[in-house]
Amino acid sequence: MRLTLYTDYALRVLIYLAAKENDELSSIREISDTYGISKNHLMKIIYQLGKMGIIETIRGRNGGIRLAMKPKDINIGKVVRQTEEDFRLVECFDPENNFCVISPVCGLRHILNHALAAYLAVLDQYTLADLVADPEKYRMHFSKQAGK
């Protein structure tokens, strides 16, 4: 199983925001500079996370972004399901485009389906709070990165 960069970056944004103190606002530029990620790519991610209700965006001169929920209420499995395009691990996961000649006798699809379900079940056991166990350590790290 492998996550797309889109999901990876979405999780990084959430970790970054969770590490902020007292709902402090962040900017796309700040996050982009911290991780070395394209601002345009981040804007798409921020937009989707906002539509999902996980972050809120505040417009205006003193605006920015922050979590809209407590980190303990943001389930990692749910975020991954909503940010990944699809979970078709092999051709036979897509019935409309399955041209595999061994599909009728092959058991791989069922095994991979089971593996995918287990993968997502593990992610469902964790929240954003679990990923940011020591926010102070993250804040110190981010401030050192900004001072480069």
Residue 90 forms part of a structural domain: no
Please count the structural domains in the chain.
Answer: 1
Q: Is residue 96 part of a domain?
A: no
**Average pLDDT score over the chain:** 85
Is there a domain that residue 25 lies in?
yes
Which ranges in 52-134 belong to alpha helices (H)?
A: 76-83, 108-124, 128-131
Closest-CA residue to 7 (of 61, 15, 67): 15
pLDDT of residue 108: 77
How many residues are recorded in the chain? 148
Contacts of 39 (CB under 8 A, 6+ apart): 28, 29, 32
Of residues 77, 92, 86, 59, the one with CA closest to residue 124? 77
What does the pLDDT look like over 60-90, one tens digit per residue?
Answer: 888 899 999 999 999 999 999 999 987 766 5
Q: Return the structure tokens found at 12.
A: 């990084």
For 85-143, the pLDDT digits (tens) are 877 665 666 667 766 676 677 677 788 889 889 999 999 999 999 999 776 665 565 56
Residue 32 lies in domain: 5-85+127-146
CATH of residue 139: 1.10.10.10
Report yes or no on 102 lying in a domain.
no
Q: 3-class SS at 52? A: coil
State pTM to two decimals. 0.81
Backbone φ, ψ for residue 11 (5° rounding) = -65, -40
Give the chain's radius of gyration (CA, Å). 18
